[in-house]
Amino acid sequence: MPDAHRLRGQTHTTHSSHSSHSSHRPALPPEPYDVERVRTDFPILQRLVHERPGRLGKPLVYLDNAASGQKPRAVIDAMTRCMELEYANVHRGIHYLSQQTTDAYEAVRGKIACFLNAPSRENIVITRNATEAINLVAATWGRTFLEAGDEVVLSVLEHHANIVPWQLLQAEKGFTIKVVPCDERGLLDLDAYAGLLGPKTKLVAITHGSNVTGTVTPAAEIARLAHHHGILVLFDGSQTAVHMPVDVQAIDADFYIFTGHKLYGPTGIGVLYGRKSVLHQMPPYQGGGDMISAVSFEGTTYRPPPYRFEAGTPPIIEGIGLGAAIDYVESLGRSAIALHEHSLLERATRRLEQIEGVRIIGTAPDKAAILSFVLDGIHPHDLGMLADQMGVAIRVGRHCAEPLLARFGVEATARASFGLYNTIAEADALADAVLAVKEFFR
Encoded one letter per residue, x for contact with ligand PLP by CB under 6 A and - for no contact, window 197-236 reads ----------x---x------------------------x
* Residue 400 falls in the annotated catalytic set: yes
11 phi/psi in degrees, rounded to 5: -50, -40
Taking the complex as a whole, how short is the minimal distance between the CB of residue 176 and ligand PLP, in angstroms?
22
Given 71, 109, 111, 159, the residue binding ligand PLP (CB under 6 A): 159
Does 140 engage in binding with ligand PLP (CB under 6 A)?
A: no
Q: How many positions of this chain bind ligand PLP (CB under 6 A)? A: 13
Residues of this chain, 46-105, that bind ligand PLP according to CB under 6 A? none
Q: Which is nearer to ligand PLP, 271 or 434 (CB)?
A: 271
Q: Does 238 bind ligand PLP (CB under 6 A)?
A: yes
- 123 vs 239, which CB is nearer to ligand PLP? 239
> By C-beta, is 259 or 423 nearer to ligand PLP?
259
Minimal distance, residue 137 CB to ligand PLP, in Å? 13
Task: Give me the catalytic one of 82, 114, 182, 400.
Answer: 400
Candidates 44-52, 54-62, 124-132, 194-202; binding stretch for ligand PLP (CB under 6 A): 124-132
Binding mask 2-31 for ligand PLP (x = CB under 6 A): ------------------------------
Return the residue of 65, 131, 155, 422 that touches ligand PLP, per CB under 6 A. 131
The residue among 133 and 434 lying less far from ligand PLP, judged by its C-beta, is 133
Rounded Cα distance between 204 and 155, Å, is 9
Exactly one of 35, 60, 152, 161 binds ligand PLP (CB under 6 A); that residue is: 161
Here's the x/- map for ligand PLP, 241-260, by CB under 6 A: it reads as ------------------x-
Alpha-carbon gap, residue 347 to 6, rounded angstroms: 14
For ligand PLP, the closer CB: 155 or 239:
239
Q: Which is nearer to ligand PLP, 164 or 292 (CB)?
A: 164
Q: Measure the CA–CA gap between 245 and 366, rounded to whole angstroms.
A: 14
**Residues that bind ligand PLP in the complex, under the rule CB under 6 A:** 129-131, 159, 161, 207, 211, 236, 238-239, 259, 261, 270
Which residues are the active-site residues?
A: 400
